[in-house]
Amino acid sequence: MTLAESHEELLVKTYQPPVNSGRIPSDKKPWITSMDEYNSMYKESLDSPDTFWRKMASELVEFTKPYQQVTSGSLHNGDTQWFVGGELNVSYNCVDRWARDTPDNVAISFEPDAPGGKRTVTFKELLENVCRVAGMFKTLGLKKGDTVAVYMPMIPETAYVLLACTRLGLVHTVVFAGFSATSLADRIKDANASVIVTSDQGLRGGKLIHTKKIVDEAIKLSGDVVKNVIVFERTGASDITYVEGRDVMWGPLFKQQASYIPPVPVGSEDPMFILYTSGSTGKPKGLVHTTAGYLVGAAMTSKYTFDLHIGDVFCCTADIGWITGHTYVVYGPLALGVTSVIFESVPTFPDASRFWQMVDEHKVTQFYTAPTAIRALRRLGDSYINCCDLSTLRIIGTVGEPINPEAWVWYHYVVGDGKAVVVDTYWQSETGSHIITPLPFATPTKPGSATLPMFGIELAILDPADGKELEGNDVTGVLAVKRSWPSMARTIVGDHDRYLSTYMHVYKDVYFTGDGAMRDSDGYYWIKGRVDDVINVSGHRISTAEIESALIVDNNVSESAVIGVEDEITGQAIFAYVTTPKGVVDSEEVKKAMIQTVRKEIGPIATPKRIIIVDELPKTRSGKIIRRVLRKIAAGEEDQLGDLSTLADPSILDVLVKKVRAG
Ligand code: WTA
């Protein structure tokens, strides 16, 4: 095998699980080692779901009150429940039982922004820290069912906050600290969060992030929802604003708290957290995840996808502000008593060897990142890897977008030395945990395919035109799930109808993922990307409608149409076609200001890569923008515009093409 194999060759190649890689310690025998085992467990999960999920739940989670029924409700009615009638506490499951059984094992290994400052927190220490944060929440009067917003950097304290919320039955809503004050305010209001936890500042790639300042602005925009702000002293900056009666500094309050506060049992179906994600219309959706099902899903997939064993060091580089950070930085690994590495920085700070230095330093055994990072690091060359000992790695995962076979092969051979298994995991904020993934020591893999369904996931590929299920192999259509699974989101905050119409009623009686997919001749799934108006930039979901609503805030924008364009590093990049009021001159300054508006309204993740000011957008006679035409032109495929019979004014096309080509 060479790294120079052609794309076509890579696409048809199958890799056998490297069971004899020499990297599997004798006390960490893989949980599942053959396709027969996978097949029989998968079959049981569909044929006898009650038996299967009872086994999983008892293996992975402790309940304080047994559940009476494994599951109830239907996808169609959107009233799915799991482990019905049971009670449990998430924080107890992720912290207390390990503080009891393995108190001196490391729970969190922290890699701060500046290299060389590694810090570890044992399970015993984690318990104390989580209890003290829970104590702070109690001091502020928070009670079960209240919502706490979290706007924090990637530091151990963020995990304490989440675990302290679940300890008391508080619902957390984490907002990625790259979102703007406006976005944060929308989420605070929508989730009705009376307390927000933040830091004075954040550090990322050597740059300061003014988290508290952004929170102050967001509170101004969100009326009187927020009663208190807890401020963790990350940098100790002296110039942050302190609002008497509202703001509370973490340090002194934390110290005053008791080192133990008992966990509060909550119902299996009580809400655990709200997480906002972009939809195909403007307003982000506050997905609600509930307690028992989410925890079982997080623990099960962590255990089997990453073959986690006690003593492993798991590193997921996703921010806790995304679902990947919730499930695979915090809840999954800790529910299994495994060390989780929290990484505050970026892959290229101070240089492109940062990930690998970290793997070496923390002796990481499972590493989980996004294709965009792999592509970017691959481009910078292998020399950044040679510095480091990566031989502890057994499993290396990817998530967030399809991984191109070339990047997959590089990851496997250069990062994994051909000995670490690549797991390409497909899932969504809505699914809570992996739904399509290889099992590392059982599933033969194909670069670019997320392979086969996780236990309990019954997939279907549908004809998008009529929703009919396409049976058999070698079919392409849209991806749906035919029955509920424990970790699926239960609703959208305040808008159950939107939940039903977005996911459950697009096609009959199935959960609709919003992704296109192909099932190949071996039954393997290949995700083709979103089929709705959602763009995937560096693995982050952003809705075109949301960016358009942000652009319109700029006085120089009359109308806009945003599309995703293929990008070598970020997967997709944001292109915005804009029309302006009469008299506005097409200049770099005007475009820069528009970009600033988007960054202010949503945050830097939504930054358009290019703004193209045009006289007119291509529309149908009834006034609908024809995005397909804009996509083709942006991709340089103006010779393949397809059927233009609905286009109101075909004469605008030439001008559009010229504008785009002009750069
Ligand atoms: C995409 C991230 C291909 C997909 C966990 C999905 C993927 C969206 C993969 C969810 C993968 C995620 N291969 N595409 N392995 N994983 N996606 O909610 O389009 O941020 O619908 O959850 O990312 O993004 P979200």
Name every residue whose Cβ is closer than 8 Å to that of residue 194 and which is 6 or more positions away in sequence. Answer: 142, 146, 147, 148, 225, 226, 227, 228
* Residues pairing with 444 in the sheet: none
Instruction: From residue 398, give the alpha-carbon distance in Å to each of 195, 321, 407, 425, 520.
Output: 34, 17, 11, 6, 21
Ligand 1 centre distance from Cα of residue 400 (Å)? 4
Q: Please state the domain count of the chain.
A: 3
Atom of ligand 1 nearest to the CA of 529: 19
- Please tell me the predicted confidence (pLDDT) of residue 1: 47
466 and 599 assigned to the same domain:
no
Cβ–Cβ < 8 Å for 258, 135: yes
445: in domain: no
Confidence of residue 289 (pLDDT cuts 50, 70, 90): very high
526 and 545 assigned to the same domain:
no
Ligand 1 mutation pick, 512, 527, 538, max ligand atoms within 8 A of CB: 527
270 and 157 assigned to the same domain:
yes
Q: Tell me how crowded residue 355 is: count the other CB atoms within 10 A of its CB.
A: 27
Q: Does any ligand 1 atom lie closer than 6 A to the CB of residue 52?
A: no
Digit-coded pLDDT (tens) for 178-195? 999 999 999 999 999 999
Ligand 1 mutation pick, 411, 426, 502, 535, max ligand atoms within 8 A of CB: 426
Digit-coded pLDDT (tens) for 50-103? 999 999 999 999 999 999 999 999 999 999 999 999 999 999 999 999 999 999
Q: Report the nearest-CA residue for atom 14 of ligand 1.
A: 401
Residues 370-375 have a mean pLDDT of 94
Q: Does any ligand 1 atom lie closer than 6 A to the CB of residue 425?
A: yes
Ligand 1 centre distance from Cα of residue 425 (Å)? 8
Per residue, the 3-state secondary structure of 615-651, as one string, reads CCCCEECCCCECHHHHHHHHCCCHHHCCCCCCECCCC
107 phi, psi to nearest 5 deg: -90, -45
**Which of 176, 177, 230, 249 minimizes the C-alpha distance to 207?**
177
H or E element that contains 368: strand 366-369
203: in domain: yes
271 and 283 assigned to the same domain:
yes
CATH number at residue 612: 3.30.300.30
339: in domain: yes
Ligand 1 centre distance from Cα of residue 429 (Å)? 8
Domain boundary (505, 530, 555) is at 530
For the entire predicted model, the pTM comes to 0.94
- Please tell me the predicted confidence (pLDDT) of residue 132: 98
Domain boundary (467, 502, 530) is at 530
Ligand 1 centre distance from Cα of residue 367 (Å)? 18
Ligand 1 centre distance from Cα of residue 427 (Å)? 5
Residues 120-146 have a mean pLDDT of 98
516 and 392 assigned to the same domain:
no
Atom of ligand 1 nearest to the CA of 398: 15
Q: Report the nearest-CA residue for atom 10 of ligand 1.
A: 428
Residues 348-376 have a mean pLDDT of 97
| Per-residue pLDDT at 4 exceeds 70 | no
180 and 294 assigned to the same domain:
yes
Ligand 1 mutation pick, 317, 324, 427, max ligand atoms within 8 A of CB: 427
Print the domain residue range for 514: 459-530
d(CA 133, CA 167): 10
Digit-coded pLDDT (tens) for 16-55? 998 888 999 999 999 999 999 999 999 999 999 999 999 9
111 and 226 assigned to the same domain:
yes
| Per-residue pLDDT at 214 exceeds 90 | yes
Residue 11 sits at the vertex; the CA angle it makes with 5 and 12, to the nearest 5 degrees, is: 100
| Per-residue pLDDT at 573 exceeds 80 | yes
Q: Tell me how crowded residue 224 is: count the other CB atoms within 10 A of its CB.
A: 7
Q: Report the nearest-CA residue for atom 7 of ligand 1.
A: 401
Ligand 1 centre distance from Cα of residue 436 (Å)? 10
253: in domain: yes
Domain boundary (530, 550, 572) is at 530
464 and 553 assigned to the same domain:
no
| Per-residue pLDDT at 308 exceeds 50 | yes
443: in domain: no
> pLDDT over 70 for what percent of the chain?
99
Q: Does any ligand 1 atom lie closer than 6 A to the CB of residue 279?
A: no
| Per-residue pLDDT at 9 exceeds 90 | no
341 and 206 assigned to the same domain:
yes
Q: Does any ligand 1 atom lie closer than 6 A to the CB of residue 618?
A: no
Atom of ligand 1 nearest to the CA of 530: 19
630: in domain: yes
Q: Does any ligand 1 atom lie closer than 6 A to the CB of residue 442?
A: no
| Per-residue pLDDT at 513 exceeds 60 | yes
Provide the mean pLDDT of the chain.
Answer: 95
Q: Does any ligand 1 atom lie closer than 6 A to the CB of residue 399?
A: yes
CATH number at residue 474: 2.30.38.10
- Please tell me the predicted confidence (pLDDT) of residue 2: 54
d(CA 293, CA 88): 11
Q: Integer distance in angstroms from the first to the last C-alpha of the chain? A: 40
Residues 445-462 have a mean pLDDT of 97
Q: Does any ligand 1 atom lie closer than 6 A to the CB of residue 319?
A: no
523 and 562 assigned to the same domain:
no
Ligand 1 mutation pick, 317, 401, 454, 503, max ligand atoms within 8 A of CB: 401
Q: Does any ligand 1 atom lie closer than 6 A to the CB of residue 202?
A: no
Q: Does any ligand 1 atom lie closer than 6 A to the CB of residue 530?
A: yes
Q: Does any ligand 1 atom lie closer than 6 A to the CB of residue 536?
A: yes
Confidence of residue 3 (pLDDT cuts 50, 70, 90): low
Tokens read off for 395: 């499993």
Sheet holding 266-267, edge to edge: 63-65, 87-88, 266-267
- Please tell me the predicted confidence (pLDDT) of residue 323: 97
- Please tell me the predicted confidence (pLDDT) of residue 392: 98
Digit-coded pLDDT (tens) for 584-611? 999 999 999 999 999 999 999 999 999 9
CATH number at residue 260: 3.40.50.12780
587 and 504 assigned to the same domain:
no
Confidence of residue 621 (pLDDT cuts 50, 70, 90): confident
d(CA 356, CA 109): 15
Q: Does any ligand 1 atom lie closer than 6 A to the CB of residue 450?
A: yes
d(CA 428, CA 539): 11
494 and 362 assigned to the same domain:
no
Q: Does any ligand 1 atom lie closer than 6 A to the CB of residue 176?
A: no
Enter the DSSP assignment of 243.
Answer: -
Q: Report the nearest-CA residue for atom 22 of ligand 1.
A: 428
448: in domain: no
- SS3 category, 27: coil
Atom of ligand 1 nearest to the CA of 540: 20
Atom of ligand 1 nearest to the CA of 430: 18
1: in domain: no
Q: Does any ligand 1 atom lie closer than 6 A to the CB of residue 515?
A: yes
The label of the residue with tokens 């009469």 reads: 582
Ligand 1 centre distance from Cα of residue 527 (Å)? 9
